[in-house]
Structure 1
Amino acid sequence: MSLAFHILLFFATVIFMEGFAYVAHRWVMHGPGWFLHESHHRPRTGAFEWNDLYAAIFAVPSFVLLLGGVQLGWWPGFAWIGAGIAAYGAIYFGFHDVIVHRRVGHRYVPRSRYMKRIIQAHRLHHVVEAKHGTVSFGFLWAPRPEVLKAQLARRGKAGIRAAKG
């Protein structure tokens, strides 16, 4: 297979992962996996939270595909798919943990409309502390904040985080 095909496979995997992340976040993390994800909707008291285990869980397929495609003689495309999953994980970490939740100190100030929109959408997701009733489950794409605010308004105050101060 050509290098161009493998690069296309890599980028297609990164794009696919946004859809996978949406589904996993909405119906697993805010479903049966809430017992881990709930920690992410509460104030963190230390460096880690139970939700961090999802990073390890989602790294396993990437590791296995990279190992198989590079070392075990599997179809080489598996290595590119594994690399795409790993790249999405790195993008997620940079955006979600570093930029939005500031788990690593930085001085970045979002200036583009895209970054402002995606950060605001994620903050609106965290307005709700409960398992159900939240909005915006994607990480790299999100509806306009006005749409999300209207969805939250229609749902009432159930699960809404109390204002600080």
Structure 2
Amino acid sequence: MEIVLWILVFIGTFLGMEGMAWFTHKYVMHGFLWKLHSDHHKKDHDSWWERNDLFFVFYAVISIIFFLLWQNEGIWYALPIGAGILAYGIAYFTVHDIFIHQRFKIFRNANNRYAKGVRRAHKMHHKHLGKEDGECFGMLWVPMKYFRK
């Protein structure tokens, strides 16, 4: 029974991170921390590193805190929460930074309906260079209008 609870907490955390990513993107990145996110929409630097990457670091620290709570305090559910946050971070980095933005030149030939829809939706978001009017969505939740043939 314990493994079932662990799996449920892990899956719930992973899915919950999709909502958290949407909320953070819409209200924090395109809100009061636009200064950190703006270089993701308009490249004003020559570095591979973006100020926007600090959001990834923030969530990595949160995941590490949960791992430490599990290890040092024996809080059993802290492990699947930390692992769920980590797994979402890996998935998000793979889809957003590698697949969509090609920070590493792999997954270039993915041309299935899902891949095209995600790319199309993200392209529509990035056509807005300012902090207002950018449609926000998650990695797993993308409006169906972007999946046309």
Name the TM-score, length of structure 2 as normaliser.
Answer: 0.91
Match of 1:116 in 2: 116
Match of 2:60 in 1: 59
2:60 aligned with 1:72, yes or no?
A: no
* Superposition deviation, residue 45 in structure 1: 2.5
Q: Given residue 94 of structure 1, which amino acid in structure 2 is its aligned partner?
A: T
* Superposition deviation, residue 49 in structure 1: 0.9
Q: How many residues align?
A: 146
**Structure label with greater radius of gyration:** 1
* Superposition deviation, residue 123 in structure 1: 1.1
Looking at structure 2, the residues matched to 60 and 7 of structure 1 have their Cα atoms a distance apart, in angstroms, of 22
Looking at structure 1, the residues matched to 142 and 136 of structure 2 have their Cα atoms a distance apart, in angstroms, of 6
Runs of 5+ in structure 2 lacking a partner?
none
Match of 1:139 in 2: 139
Looking at structure 1, the residues matched to 111 and 7 of structure 2 have their Cα atoms a distance apart, in angstroms, of 30
- Could you say what secondary structure the match of 1:31 adopts? helix
Name the TM-score, length of structure 1 as normaliser.
Answer: 0.83
Instruction: Determine if contact 1:121/1:144 at 8 Å carries over to the other structure.
Output: no
Q: Given residue 98 of structure 1, which amino acid in structure 2 is its aligned partner?
A: I
Looking at structure 1, the residues matched to 31 and 123 of structure 2 have their Cα atoms a distance apart, in angstroms, of 20
The 1:98/1:2 distance shift into structure 2, 3 A limit, reads same
Q: Given residue 64 of structure 2, which amino acid in structure 1 is its aligned partner?
A: F
2:21 aligned with 1:21, yes or no?
A: yes
Match of 2:37 in 1: 37
4+ aligned runs moved over 4 Å, structure 1: none
Looking at structure 2, the residues matched to 127 and 105 of structure 1 have their Cα atoms a distance apart, in angstroms, of 22
Looking at structure 1, the residues matched to 84 and 91 of structure 2 have their Cα atoms a distance apart, in angstroms, of 10
Q: Given residue 126 of structure 2, which amino acid in structure 1 is its aligned partner?
A: H
Looking at structure 1, the residues matched to 120 and 145 of structure 2 have their Cα atoms a distance apart, in angstroms, of 7
Task: Give the structure with the higher percent helix.
Answer: 2
RMSD of the alignment, in Å? 1.6
* Superposition deviation, residue 108 in structure 1: 3.3
- Could you say what secondary structure the match of 2:124 adopts? helix
Runs of 5+ in structure 1 lacking a partner?
148-165
